[in-house]
Homo-oligomer: A and B are copies of this chain.
Amino acid sequence: MTTEARSAAAQRVSINAEGFPDAKEVPLETIQVEVIELFVHAVRVLGLPKSVGEIYGLLFISPEALPLDVIVARLGISKGSASQGLRFLRNLGAVQPSSVAGDRREHFKAVTELKKLAAGFISGEINPHLESGTLRLEKIRQIASSDTSQHAGFFRDRVARLGNWRRRGGMLLKIVSRFLGRTTKK
């Protein structure tokens, strides 16, 4: 969704039977629009779809937990996108379901602890790739060890280097987790 479209949607506030604006059509404040844009850019860098950034951003900058249909109305995205985006965010632990008394709908709130966000991203998005990479590397090692070509020495050197990279990558993830987990000092 473009910024223009979002602003346009924000303008359209209908009045319901009781004469109050529909709760789910409360327009976004300027600051909310800006924060959502910030998250849209951030998730693009992480390789995630825009809708995921919009949803997380909206929840991050909303004072109350929101149900799916309100997210759909405020962002002007489809129910399908919202449902998939919320599932993704829930799986990552970036969003938490929370029940609201007297409301059957499931509400969601953003998890805002950096440590938790990073842990979820690492285990959900990074580790699977690291693991599949480890398998591939294992296979490559096999091939290298039985290689008898003119360049066997060179190949084995390169493969050793790949192993070294992977080892360091794993160490780095641990360092990152440790750093983000500690309480901030100075």
Which residue of B41, B132, B147, B154 contacts A136 across the interface (Cβ within 8 Å)? B41
| Nearest B residue (CB) for A38 | B136
Q: Is the CB of B34 within 8 A of A149?
A: no
- Which of A1-9, A76-84, A95-103, A171-179 contacts its partner? A171-179
Expressed in whole angstroms, the Cα–Cα distance for A139 and B35 within the complex equals 10
- Which of A11-19, A65-73, A157-165 contacts its partner? A157-165
Q: Is the CB of B41 within 8 A of A140?
A: no
Q: Is the CB of A172 within 8 A of B179?
A: yes
Expressed in whole angstroms, the Cα–Cα distance for A126 and B46 within the complex equals 10
Q: A45-B126, A47-B47, A61-B155 are known contacts; what are 20 more A-B pairs with Cβ within 8 Å?
A: A29-B151, A29-B155, A30-B143, A31-B143, A31-B144, A34-B136, A34-B140, A34-B143, A35-B159, A35-B162, A37-B136, A41-B129, A41-B136, A45-B47, A45-B129, A114-B164, A114-B168, A164-B184, A168-B180, A176-B176
A interface list, Cβ under 8 A from B? 29-31, 34-35, 37-38, 41-42, 45, 47, 60-61, 63, 112, 114, 126, 129, 132-133, 136-137, 139-140, 143-144, 147, 149, 151, 154-155, 158-159, 161-162, 164-165, 168, 171-172, 175-176, 179-180, 184
In order of increasing CB-CB distance, the 9 nearest A-B pairs are: A31-B143, A63-B154, A47-B47, A45-B129, A38-B136, A63-B151, A34-B140, A31-B155, A114-B165
23 pairs from A and B in contact (CB 8 Å cutoff): A29-B147, A29-B151, A31-B143, A31-B147, A31-B155, A31-B159, A37-B136, A38-B133, A38-B136, A38-B137, A38-B140, A41-B132, A41-B133, A41-B136, A45-B47, A61-B158, A63-B151, A112-B158, A114-B168, A168-B180, A172-B179, A172-B180, A175-B176
